Amino acid sequence: MIKRRIIAAAAVVLIASALLTGCGGAKKAAAPAVKLTKAQFDKANLGMNYDEVQKAVGGPGNVTTEEGTPGQPGYTLVVEYPGVKEGGLARFTFKNGQLINKGGSGLE
C-alpha cells in the first residue's frame, strides 16, 4: 500500500514537471544567425536595443551569454553573428536593454 502511494506521488511529480517545462521553461530553437558584412555591422549603433540591432543588421544572431533576469537592472546579453567570410565574427553586448559594446573581426 505504501509502495503504491510512493509510486503515485512520484508519477504526479514527473507529470507536473513535464507540464511546467512545456509551458515556457524550455526555450524555442532560434533561427540560424544572419551572416554579416562589415556594412551591416556598421549599421548597429551603441544605445540601440536588440530589436533595433536585428532590424539594422537583417535578422537575429546567436545568444552566447545571458546573465541576470530580463527587465531587471544588470541584465546582460551577448549576441554573436558569423561573418559572410569564413572565420568572420561580430559580437554585440547589451546591458539593461541597450547595446553597450560591439566588436568584429574578419568582416568584409
* Burial of 87: CB neighbours in 10 Å, binned 0-12, 13-18, 19+: exposed
Q: At 75, which helix (H) or strand (E)?
A: none
> Is 90:36 a contact under the CB 8 Å cutoff?
yes
Give the pLDDT confidence of 72-95 residue by residue, as tens digits.
Answer: 999 999 999 999 999 999 999 999
pLDDT band at 6 (very low <50, low <70, confident <90, very high): very low
Q: Stretch 4-9: mean pLDDT, rounded?
A: 50
Average pLDDT, the chain: 81
Percent of the chain with pLDDT over 90: 69
Domain boundaries, given as residue ranges, for the chain: 38-105
pTM: 0.71
Answer yes or no: are the C-beta atoms of 62 and 81 closer than 8 Å. yes
Architecture of domain 38-105: 2-Layer Sandwich (3.30)
CA-based max dimension of the chain? 71
